[in-house]
């Protein structure tokens, strides 16, 4: 069985036979990356302990809707999840289009013949991606220890502790509504500087968010502008409103292995640098980390082969997007509307020779708020901050 990610990335299914082992593999963090790794390892006979410092999975999330992108690969993302051992036991609703707004242009309706993304819910309540993965992990025999912060360990471990800095911040609300199911996106630097705002509605619930990649201190101001825009341009029905905020980070380092620790998900910087679609990267990196332990193969080789080309392309896309402004946003929206938006997005999310020429410039211009704090202690057993001074002796 194969898992295709993008146009050129192919990762083969785990080839090792199930094993019987005494010492458990430690996984730090019960997010999508950590739980995926645990599920795959347990199915291959490895005892697994997941240490989660919060009282429940999805604890820092808010019941908000997010998009599981479906345009960067030929294979549907739901088929990819199934092929790496993840069942769809959570809300995963296909969305084939929606409305897109930009300054000084009428809203444009985008339509696709395949799902552009799958709407999923995040958080601690039933039906979320987080709870679905937790149920699968427990059913597979994974041991999850909540309210347990693991600072040091012995043996091999997978670190899935989530973002360590804010390269993008989001401010939004969840709410109940009588509005029809829909997806609406705004590209406007006055509402979401170098980012985007969106409205997602499904089965009587809604999420409205602005995502800022610059001018973070204007978070509240941009949120108010977004609310004013949606109320002024759409027939809004908002009840039981709950505010929330979150953040994410993106970086590309040459290694995600430090002594016996394998880093996955956002703790490895694995994120879509353009628009922040990170769930695909989280799940696939968790799978690849598990695969490397099962087969005793090189995790750095795996993620660099399977994920790095698209990570680098997303960095270039971020570099270009920050320079096109409102005129460029209008151009992009027209391109989305003319033809198949998934084909257009897939082309620009995958490697090309021209974009590769821009990589040195994009690398020079981009600077994550996360710094490499690896230490040089021999046989280091620290978990947090890549052995930052707070933990290392």
CATH code at position 211: 3.30.9.10
Q: Which residues pair with 182 in a beta bridge?
A: 201
CA-based nearest residue to 251, from 112, 386, 111, 135: 386
Give the integer Cα–Cα distance in Å for 75 and 80: 7
What digits encode the pLDDT tens for the residues 302-321? 999 999 999 999 999 999 99
- Can you read off the two tokens belonging to residue 99? 């409305």
User: Can you list the alpha helix ranges (DSSP code H) found in 271-307?
Assistant: 279-295, 299-306
CA-based nearest residue to 178, from 160, 150, 202: 202
Cα–Cα distances in angstroms (integers) from residue 182 to residues 178, 267, 274, in the given order: 12, 32, 23
In-domain check, residue 102: no
Under the banding of pLDDT at 50, 70 and 90, the label for residue 370 is: low
In-domain check, residue 334: yes
In-domain check, residue 393: no
CATH code, domain carrying 19 = 3.40.50.720
Under the banding of pLDDT at 50, 70 and 90, the label for residue 386 is: very low
- pLDDT value of position 366: 84
- Can you read off the two tokens belonging to residue 374? 């690896």
What digits encode the pLDDT tens for the residues 182-235? 999 999 999 999 999 999 999 999 999 999 999 999 999 999 999 999 999 999
Q: Which domain holds residue 83?
A: 2-60+74-87+126-165+255-386
In-domain check, residue 181: yes
Of the listed ranges 10-19, 292-301, 329-338, the least confidently predicted one is 10-19
Residues 303 and 356 in one domain: yes
Q: 193, 214, 248 — which closes off a domain? A: 248
Residues 193 and 314 in one domain: no
Place of tokens 């509307």: 337
In-domain check, residue 240: yes
In-domain check, residue 120: no
Question: Taking all residues of the chain, what is their mean pLDDT, rounded to a whole number?
Answer: 90
Under the banding of pLDDT at 50, 70 and 90, the label for residue 277 is: very high
Residues 189 and 241 in one domain: yes
Place of tokens 């410092």: 53
* Average pLDDT of the residues in 18-23: 65
Residues 368 and 239 in one domain: no
Under the banding of pLDDT at 50, 70 and 90, the label for residue 65 is: very high
Q: 227, 248, 269 — which closes off a domain? A: 248
CA-based nearest residue to 168, from 276, 251, 32: 276
- Can you read off the two tokens belonging to residue 32? 């999508």
Residues 233 and 283 in one domain: no
> What's phi and psi for 226, nearest 5 deg?
-60, -45
Which DSSP symbol is given to 268? Answer: G
What digits encode the pLDDT tens for the residues 83-97? 999 999 999 999 999
Q: 248, 274, 291 — which closes off a domain? A: 248
User: Can you list the alpha helix ranges (DSSP code H) found in the chain?
Assistant: 32-43, 77-83, 129-140, 219-233, 279-295, 299-306, 308-337, 341-349, 353-365
Per DSSP bridges, beta strands 117-121 and 2-5 are: unpaired
Half-sphere exposure of 80 (CA within 13 A, CB side): 25
Residues 160 and 231 in one domain: no
Question: Cα Rg for the chain, rounded, in angstroms?
Answer: 20
Residues 133 and 272 in one domain: yes
Residues 291 and 185 in one domain: no
Give the integer Cα–Cα distance in Å for 266 and 2: 24
- pLDDT value of position 13: 65
Residues 8 and 78 in one domain: yes
Q: Are 216 and 276 in contact (CB under 8 A)?
A: no
Count of structural domains within the chain: 2
Cα–Cα distances in angstroms (integers) from residue 313 to residues 241, 270, 353, 368, 370, in the given order: 37, 13, 10, 16, 20
Percent of the chain with pLDDT over 90: 81
* 176, pLDDT greater than 90: yes
What digits encode the pLDDT tens for the residues 222-247? 999 999 999 999 999 999 999 999 99
Cα–Cα distances in angstroms (integers) from residue 162 to residues 95, 131, 312, 393, in the given order: 27, 17, 20, 24
- Can you read off the two tokens belonging to residue 271? 């994120």
Give the integer Cα–Cα distance in Å for 262 and 259: 8
* 383, pLDDT greater than 90: no
Cα–Cα distances in angstroms (integers) from residue 299 to residues 29, 68, 182, 258, 373, in the given order: 18, 24, 39, 11, 20
- pLDDT value of position 259: 86
Residues 138 and 46 in one domain: yes
Residues 136 and 275 in one domain: yes
Q: Are 120 and 128 in contact (CB under 8 A)?
A: yes
In-domain check, residue 118: no
In-domain check, residue 382: yes
What digits encode the pLDDT tens for the residues 113-152? 999 999 999 999 999 999 999 999 999 999 999 999 887 7
Total residue count of the chain as it appears in this document: 393
Residues 154 and 289 in one domain: yes
Q: What is the DSSP string of 176-223?
A: E--PPSEEEEE--TTTSTTSEEEEEEETTEEEEEEEESS-GGGHHHHH
């Amino acid at each position: 069985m194969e898992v295709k990610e993008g146009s050129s990335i192919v990762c083969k299914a785990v080839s090792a036979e199930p094993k019987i082992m005494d010492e458990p593999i430690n996984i730090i963090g019960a997010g999508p990356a950590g739980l995926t790794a645990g599920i795959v390892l347990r199915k291959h006979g490895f005892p697994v302990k997941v240490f989660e410092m919060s009282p429940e999975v999805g604890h820092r999330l808010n019941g908000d809707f997010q998009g599981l992108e479906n345009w960067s690969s030929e294979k549907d993302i739901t088929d990819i999840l199934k092929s790496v051992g993840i069942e769809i036991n959570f809300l995963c609703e296909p969305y084939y289009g929606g409305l897109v707004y930009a300054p000084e242009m009428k809203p444009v309706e985008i339509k696709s013949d395949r799902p552009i993304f799958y709407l999923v819910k995040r958080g601690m309540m039933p039906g979320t991606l987080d709870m679905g993965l937790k149920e699968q992990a427990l059913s597979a025999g994974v041991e999850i220890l909540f309210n347990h912060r693991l600072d040091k360990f012995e043996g091999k471990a997978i670190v899935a502790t989530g973002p360590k800095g804010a390269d993008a911040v989001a401010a939004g609300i969840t709410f109940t509504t009588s509005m029809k199911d829909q997806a609406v996106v705004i590209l406007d630097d006055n509402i979401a500087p170098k980012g985007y705002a969106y409205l997602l509605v499904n089965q009587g619930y809604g999420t409205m968010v602005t995502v800022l990649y610059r001018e973070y201190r204007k978070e509240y101001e941009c949120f108010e502008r977004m609310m004013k825009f949606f109320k002024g341009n759409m027939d809004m029905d908002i009840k039981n409103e709950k505010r929330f905020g979150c953040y994410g980070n993106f970086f590309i380092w040459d290694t995600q292995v430090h002594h016996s620790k394998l880093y996955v998900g956002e703790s490895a910087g694995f994120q879509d640098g353009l628009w922040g679609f990170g769930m695909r990267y989280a799940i696939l990196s968790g799978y690849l980390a598990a695969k490397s332990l099962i087969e005793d193969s090189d995790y750095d080789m795996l993620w660099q082969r399977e994920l790095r080309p698209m990570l680098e392309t997303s960095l270039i896309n971020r570099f270009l997007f920050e320079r096109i402004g409102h005129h460029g946003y209008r151009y992009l929206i027209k391109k989305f509307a003319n033809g198949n938006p998934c084909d257009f997005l897939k082309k620009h999310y995958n490697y090309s020779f021209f974009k590769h020429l821009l990589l040195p410039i994009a690398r020079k211009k981009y600077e994550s708020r996360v710094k490499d704090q690896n230490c040089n202690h021999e046989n280091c057993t620290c978990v947090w901050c890549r052995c930052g001074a707070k933990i290392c002796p």
